[in-house]
Structure 1
C-alpha cells in the first residue's frame, strides 16, 4: 500500500512537469503564415469565413485579416497588430485597408482577439474569444474564433488574392521568404546551365606546349553560284492543305448568340478603374475574354490565382459601362467561373461571376451621382 501511495505522489508531481514541458515549446513555435477558419458572432449567431496572415520582422509580429459577411457578398481587409504574452496570442485591429460595403464601415470599432495556440492531430490551431470596443453608436460584440494554419497559402485564399491586388502581399514575411527561395532556386538552375569558362592557365612543368600554326591568310575568290531553275517533276506535287482556322480563333466569337446574365451592378466615382481577374476557387483552366461596351478589352485570359490586371479609362460624359465576361471554355470543372476585383480609387469591390457556352456574365458599372 505504501508503494502505491508513493507511486501516486510521483505521478501527481510528474504530470505538471509533463504539461509544462509540452506547453513551453508552443511559445517558441513560429506562427507566421496563413490562418483560415471561422469567426462566430454571439449577437448574430452566425459563422463568418475568416483569414489572418501573420508576419514577423525583427521579432515584431503584425499582419492582415480578411472577413466575409452576408454569405460572401461583402468583405473587409484590415491591418492588425499581434503580440504573444502569457501564453496567449493577442490580435487587434489597426486600420481598414479595403472593403466593398455599400456604406462606409463604422468608425472607431476595433476587434480584439485573445487566442491560444494548440496542436490538434498534427495541425496548428489558433482558437479563443474576441470582443469589440463600445462606441457611441455600437454596443460591444463578442464571439469566438477558430483558425488552422495552411501550408499552401496561395491556394483558395481570399486574403492573399486581395493583398496581391493591393500590392501588399510581399509585406508578409512568409511571402517574401518564398520569393527569395524561388529566386535562389532559379539562380542555381541558371548557374548549372551556364557553360564552364576555360581559363588560360600556365602549363605545368614537364608538359610540352603544342604550338598551333595560324592558317595562312589567303584571299579567296568567291564565285557566284549560277541560279538554277527548278524543273517541274513528272509527278504532280501534292500541296499540303492549309490548317483550318479554329471556330473560336477570334476572341468572343459567339458573344452575340449568347444571353447576357447580369451578375451585379456597381457604382464608381473615379474616371479610371483597375480591373483584376482571378479564378474563383480551384484553378481548372477557365479562359475568358472580357468585353467593354461590346469591344474586346482582354482576349482569352486563362484564370489563375495570379491577378490579370487591366486599367480602363471612362470619359467624364459616360455614365455607365457594361462589362461582359465571355467563356472561351468551361475548364475541367464547369461552369466557367471567376472573380473580378474592381479598384475605384481607395475603394475595392469584388464581383464573382459565372458563365457557360450559352450565357455571358455581365456586370454594369454606373457612375455615382455627386
Structure 2
C-alpha cells in the first residue's frame, strides 16, 4: 500500500506540474534576414505526449497579400515546446516553397497548467542548397476564435459533406423529396449582430485602410461603416489591396464596422483590414456573414 500511495502521489504531482498547450495562439513571427514581421497563428491539440495542430502565416508585399497554412507536430521536452512544420496544406506564395525546408519553433514553457504565452526562437534546417534562416516568435493564447484567420481558413478548406443516395427497398413507394434548406436572408446593417474585434488606437486625423481577402479569392464583397454611416461600399476582396483614405470626424471614439454584402462561394466572408496610421500598421482579421457584422473601436489619442 505504501508503494501504491507513493506512485499515486508521484502521478498527481506530475500532472499538476505538466504544461498544457491546447488552444489557439495568435501573434507575430519575425525573420532575422528579411526583417519581415508576419502575422502568425498556431492552433494546438495536446493528447498525452503528442501535440498536433496547424500554423498560419501571412505577409503583404507591394500591396499583395500572401498566406500559407500547414500542419504542425510538436513535443514538450526539458521545459521547452518544440513545434515542427509538417505538410503544407495551401498557399499563394509568389514562388514555390523550397523543397525539404522546414521550420522548427523552440518555445520555453515553465510552470504548470495552461500556457498563456509562447515566446522563443525559430530556425529552418540546413539543406544542400539553403542555409538556415532564423527568427523570433511571440504568441498569446486566445480564449475564443473571433478574428482568427486560421480558424476561418480551416473552415474554408473543410470539404462540404457529400450527399449519398441510398437505394430504395424493394416494393417501396418513393418518398416525397425534402426541400433544401432556405438560404440565409441578408439583414439590414442595423439589424445585424456584431462580433467585436480588438480596439485600435490612432493618432492622425486621417488613416489609410487596405482591404484584402485573407484566403481563397472567392468573390467576397464587403462595405465599411463609420459610426453607422457607409464610407466604402461593395468592395470585392482579392489578394490585391483596395485602399481608401478615411478622414476622421471630431471626437475621440469611433465605431468601424465591416458588413458582408455576400458570402462568396465559401462562407463566411473573411478578410484582412489593414489600418495605417503614420508609421503604425494594424492588421485586423475579420469574419462576417449576412446576419453578423465585424466591429471594432477606433480610439483617438491626443
TM-score by length of 1: 0.41
Q: Which has the higher contact order (CA 8 A, sep 6+)?
A: 2
Greater Cα radius of gyration, structure 1 or 2: 1
Higher strand share: 2
